[in-house]
Amino acid sequence: MQAPSLVRLNSRLSEISCLVGICRSRRARGARNFPKEEPALLRGALVLLSSHMEGYFEDLVEDIVDAIDPGIENPRSMPEEIRIRQVLGEPTRWSTQDHGRRWQLVRAAAESPLFDDSAIHVSGQLDPGLHTDKFGNPGTSEIRELFKTVGVANCWDEFHAVEPRITYKNEIDAIVSRRNQIAHGDMNAIVTDLDIEGYIRNFQHTAEVFSCIARSHVTKYLPSFSW
């Protein structure tokens, strides 16, 4: 079986392939005004691809949390980084200089059902959104930081252990950069149908490798786990 996030991604990528197909169909028919419409469609397809990339990594991290949640017996059994994020929340919360606010945070952390090592864990206590809420543009640095919150120290080291070609990692940053150009109104940011096709194909491979990384990470804590 595939990770739920990977199943959803494949469905979402088909939307983008449809846009490419529309472009080619209208071009083949010589549709009136299409030379003006095609760049807009393809620019939109790239922005949509960036959005689906972001959604995939969020979904995959949530898959990891959702897999860990029902399978562990006590808080000590889960990845420490998941437990820390669940108990303490976003690190910036603790940057306050207000001692009263800090005291409230300490008390809230101490009252968490995940604070006691040996407490019986009840499925449903983990909130996947605590890991993904602050995730934005899916650049490679942001992706690495996202996976750190669930205990994957450097996802790109693990990625390159499976796929040594740097092209796949670099292409993610290239897509995000082009997306940002389009989003900020750069009308010279041209995208072709072949660009989009290549990006889809390569990201599908990247996503499959990340799905394997996620499954391998979960099996460190739940040896019999499979999607």
- Give pLDDT, residue 227: 87
Contact call for residues 72 and 198 (beta carbons, < 8 A): no
- Give pLDDT, residue 180: 94
Phi (first) and psi of residue 184, to 5 degrees:
-100, 15
The residue-averaged pLDDT of 103-121 equals 91
Measuring CA to CA, how many Å separate 175 from each of 54, 75, 94, 217?
Answer: 11, 38, 34, 27
Tell me: pLDDT of 34 over 60.
no
Q: Mean pLDDT in the chain?
A: 92
- Give pLDDT, residue 64: 99
- Sign of the CA dihedral with 127 first, then 137, 217, and 7 last: positive
The residue-averaged pLDDT of 120-133 equals 96
pTM of the model: 0.92
Of 23-37, 130-144, 193-207, the one with minimum mean pLDDT is: 23-37
